[in-house]
Chains A and B, each alone.
Chain A
Amino acid sequence: MSAAVIPVEQIKTITMSIYRYDPTVDKKPYMQDVVVEIPTDKDIMVLDALHLAKQQEPSLSYRRSCREGVCGSDGMNINGKNGLACVTPLSEVLKRDKITLRPMPGLPVVRDLIVDMKQFFDQLEKVKPYLITKSDSPDIERKQTPEDREELDGLYECILCGCCSTSCPSFWWNPDKFLGPAALLQSWRFIADSRDEATEERLDDLEDAFSLYRCHGIMNCVSVCPKGLNPTEAISNIRNKLLTREKA
């Protein structure tokens, strides 16, 4: 059996303008145009197009793993807007058969489309993204009513791709002091959890000028979240909690 050959009329060429930087060779990053042929009889994802580009430019580097929007590895800036390459249909972002890919803004570039996520995960670590309990463990499990469990919808789904925090101007200017939308969404995820017993301590940790209050409601985070989550609302919930709590 011969390999499938795509008829010529089902192919079109597109130009991918890609941010390139190899620290061992380049002094400065530059944009490189890669022309690739894509099928027209079906829609492919931006990540598929990147694979085609890599066949021509084997040194092209990017992170990817699950290729279905679950692992959160291939967050990047697609035509100016952050998103996951694997779940962004090419047809939605192609403009005159051209697409521009850059690394997520604000974080140091390791190489090409790969950024160093250390600052992002340092901020996540600060909100202690795990259940903290003080009471003795029950025999089987810590139970929750279905209503309490529902409080976590829209919070637990975060895959930590970094699209939101790296689209947030407040995070760009203060990546070490402002926690950023992703970490704050996780903070609210545990404050809102009926089983968590460290709510007061969590709130205390957020009560300074930068950690939480640097959010100015720009809402770029909500615009870009590939999972459709709403960090702005979570931040607002934390603020309300801080305002209404009775201090001991």
Chain B
Amino acid sequence: MAHEELFKGYEQTLPEHILKDIRENLPDKVNKAEVKEILEITQTEFDAALVDAGEAVGIVAAESIGEPGTQMTLNTFHFAGVAEMNVTTGLPRLIEILDASAAPKTPMMEIYLKAPYNKGKDIKKIAHKIKETKLKELISEFSINVLESWIAIVPDKKKLADLDMDIAKIKKLIEKGLKVNVEIDDDKLIIKPKDETLSEMHKIKEKIKGVYVSGLKTINHVLPIKREDEFIIVTAGTKLQDVLELDFVDPIRTTTNDVKEIASVLGIEAARSAIMIEVLKVINSQGLNVDIRHIMLVADIMCVSGLVNGITRYGVVSEKSSVLARASFETPLKHIIAAALSGEEDKLTSVIENVMLNQPIPSGTGLPKLMMKD
């Protein structure tokens, strides 16, 4: 890199991404004086573009996210990769993220693989390992003998082989899952329930269908797709911790769209990034343009306390120190009564209380407290 020594002096005063931008865009033939001038001009422009003290950045961020919200579409499903799997996007997804709701409506993971698997080696097998398989997917035949009251199932051998399973293993699984006796008869499994009524038999049949065979629970769908020049696995359903522990998974890039899960597995800083990434995804998918700083601030306010708090009356708003600010949002009486009992004091340090009292608000031009001497 040309004239690197000149950059040294600006490392403290210019942010990294701008310096990087300059380095990348410098033409090949550039002399020292020019680099110096570029850096100087950048510095002056940067200094002129800094935020002022007192700027109500919170409101600006809220506006910047709320306003494009009116332009988003409702009920849109966006197809991830191929048409098989769809994800909630648009306004419902945005609300979901900002609510920090416990589970997303369409949980999804993107699993990156380590070499050589990311070039397509054993991709089908790997996908099968991750997907939760239930017994019903492996059975080719199902029959109930009403007279002798037993149930016979015939597993599909080919599918068994795909999963490294055999009939004995299946027998064990059923015995463990249903607490019934199972006999092997050639390639058939015979189940004799204790209770012989027909309705009970039917119930057991349904239960057998749902017996867990292999894979990670809650991952209902897997889809290996090619992105750029590597294979990744997209799943419906998420189980981050277990997936990260698999030895063929690249744990660094693998991710889920469930923010709460990220918070519990990877910690609060990861959750903050996840919120930013997910919000940005929604906004970009709608073809809107919102600066990352606003999204960052929302993610930060949701995560300052160390837990992921939604922008709801139970989350971020309940943490406010001011009684009146809380009361002005939702359920005012609850807050006022609680405050009265504990003799709470409202120091009037935020915006809404001062609006209520017709006093200047402590932000923007209301922040400096100056008085003219007469």
B and A form one assembly: no
